[in-house]
Structure 1
Amino acid sequence: MAAVVRLQSLQGLRKASTSVISRRAINSSSKKCESKIPEITFAPPPKTNWVSYGFDYKDKTIDRNVTKNTLFMTITVMMVFGGFLLSYLPDPQLRDWTQREAYLEIRRREELGLPHIDCNLVNPANIVLPTDEELGDTEIII
């Protein structure tokens, strides 16, 4: 019960403090208190040193604009559109053609009943192998 009484007293203090803070003085007199403020003219801002990007050494805005346009054209046009063109160019190494020819050759060999790759691709009679005496003690690794 004592805690409830303390809370109520704290709320009363808060209300009293906010009412004091929220009061403000109202000035209804003529404008005697106002003084004229002289108009101050400020000096123009000093020109800062700038480093040119190499497109124009006299005008900063032209230099910046040409730099931005150059970067835009380089990145967008060359990289994006260049990559697009390269991806849709015809096959320069003829990979598609060789694969198509391989499928046609496999179909032809299957229709004739031949294996896909002949084990005697090179005629064994045309191969000249060394004799055992010519080999001697040479180690043969297979």
Structure 2
Amino acid sequence: MTETKDKLKTAVFKYIESEIYDYPDTVQNIKDRYQNIMYASSKQDDAGVVKGGGVGRPTERIATALMSSTSLARLERIASAIGSSYDQMPEDHKRVIQLKYWDNRKLTMEGIASECFMHRNTASKYRKEFVYLVASKLGY
């Protein structure tokens, strides 16, 4: 897939992997935050602090809350990078990624390779390519 000339630092590689592991929760978190902002009965900032009350301009309040939520924007950026990277992968790569990061069985790389009918090194290569592609999309 996409080759990165520079090697990622171990800490960055692990951080990207942690975001990939958390991807399903991140997507749900984004949906929950949108729901909270859209249906909030009072004006709140990102920290949940109530700012005044009464009837106002709900459309503007919602738009402002959505646009000013830096944590929501960060989550969306991460989810977008992971989702679009996953969509770019060939089917055999996707199977490795699915088993490695989102399968509840928590297989080893040997188990993943066996299940995908490939050598462990090939499965590890697909994993690394995916992490590097996500990292590239996130600016690392």
TM range (shorter): under 0.3
- Whose relative contact order is higher, 1 or 2, with alpha carbons under 8 Å and at least 6 apart? 2
Name whichever structure is richer in helix by fraction.
2
Find the structure with the greater CA-based Rg: 1
Q: TM-score, normalised by structure 1?
A: 0.19
